[in-house]
Amino acid sequence: MAENLDEKLNEVTVLKNYNIVVLRGDGIGPEIVAEAIKVLDAAGERFGFQFTYDEQLMGGCAIDATGEPLPQQTIDACKQADSVLLGAVGGWKWDTLPGSKRPEAGLLGIRSALGLYANLRPAKIFEPLKSASPIKDSIIGDQLDILVVRELTGGIYFGERGRCEKNGAPAAYDTESYSVPEIERIARVAFDMAMKRGKKLTSVDKANVLESSRLWRETVIRISKEYPEVELNHMYVDNCAMQLVRNPAQFDVIVTSNMFGDILSDEASMISGSIGMLASASLAGSSLGLYEPIHGSAPDIAGQGIANPLATILSVAMMLRYSFDEAEAADAIEAAVDEALRRARTPDIKEDGIPVVSTGEMGDLVAKLTAGE
């Protein structure tokens, strides 16, 4: 009897299951998220895991259904989940509502409710899209793949601010301040990312002028002792802004403060040349993360089947890599996107000689290639 049971248990393959809260949002959100889910399922089937999707409301659709951009039920579901996939929120219909009642208030609300203090923005050029980059081929070189890790919940955006008087004239101030634990935790995220990539980390600060930057640098150097395999260097933010366009291939992972990261991640991501290709992740230090394309809900093209789903598809590749440690599946999705770009294009990245396809056709193609067909 016992032997029979053992044999039976051996026959049953229990697949790993990941619970994902899905926030489709508004505008093109539902269209692009549908394609990303196709690709996740294809990756799961090939690499031996599966997903449970829990659909929740955020943004304009949540306002229409409940009167709130971020219902408590959505927050509770996200806190229970292994990860969160977001399309985009916002649209003309809700533009006249007061700030705290607008769809975009849901974005800030969910980031703070989940304690997402690390924002990851990759800037990668896919070979077939090289010509869309504003940077010359000779500068890009063979490969460009940078990850900007930005501190998201501290620094000057959250520091003390106010109006005052200076030399008898009206004045204003904002304060940049970082505590050691805040720097330690973002540094560890960045070192962990570097370990999963090229083992090279550039910490960006303004330590020649700012005391908060000197503390930043000291702390990053101390944390680097925990990661002897990672090569660490430091760069002033003004130099980094210049180096990103002069010699971007020198970077692997960049870690920096909230404000410097805000500016540098936009600069770095634009090297890739197309808003429909840019993914992002926000992490809370645990495996829970919020994954979303950096573009908005594009109400001007919603419902037409012409949106580019690749930024959202690349966001789920990040989810597999950073929340679930499924690097092989993430690599497969990125390789599938690269191949899909050689065979077809959505209208926003169309190129002579390559057929133009719809949102759904692009999703089907990437899913097929991810499945290894």
| Active site members | 157, 206, 238, 262, 266
Amino acid at 5: L
Q: How many CA atoms lie within 13 A of 184 on its CB side?
A: 7
Task: State the Cα–Cα distance between residues 86 and 5, nearest whole angstrom.
Answer: 43
Q: In 315-350, which positions are buried (b, 16+ CB within 10 angstroms) versus exposed (e)? A: bbbbbbbbbbebeebbebbbebbbbbbeebbbebbe
Q: Which of the ranges 71-79, 208-216, 283-291, 294-302 carries the binding residues for ligand NAD, by CB under 6 A?
A: 294-302
Taking the complex as a whole, the smallest distance from the CB of residue 123 to ligand NAD amounts, in Å, to 17
> Binding to ligand NAD by residue 276, rule CB under 6 A?
yes
Task: State the Cα–Cα distance between residues 157 and 105, nearest whole angstrom.
Answer: 16
Nearer to ligand NAD, 248 or 276 (CB): 276
Are the beta carbons of 293 and 318 closer than 8 angstroms? Answer: no
> Binding to ligand NAD by residue 56, rule CB under 6 A?
no
Give the count of beta carbons closer than 10 Å to the beta carbon of residue 198. Answer: 15
> Binding to ligand NAD by residue 295, rule CB under 6 A?
yes
Q: Which helix (H) or strand (E) holds 240?
A: helix 237-246
Residues numbered 326 to 355 that lie near ligand NAD (CB under 6 A) are 348
CA distances from 261 to 160, 257, 264, 267, 311 (A): 19, 6, 5, 10, 20
> Binding to ligand NAD by residue 107, rule CB under 6 A?
yes
The mark string for 252-271 relative to ligand NAD (x by CB under 6 A, - otherwise) is: --------------------
Q: Which residue reads 């594009």 in tokens? A: 298
Q: Which of the ranges 64-72, 248-256, 263-271, 291-299 carries the binding residues for ligand NAD, by CB under 6 A?
A: 291-299
> Binding to ligand NAD by residue 121, rule CB under 6 A?
no
Taking the complex as a whole, the smallest distance from the CB of residue 61 to ligand NAD amounts, in Å, to 12
- Give the residue, chosen from 301, 338, 360, 361, that forms a contact with ligand NAD under the rule CB under 6 A: 301
**Residues near ligand NAD, by CB under 6 A:** 28, 32, 88-91, 104, 107, 275-276, 292, 295-301, 307-308, 311, 348
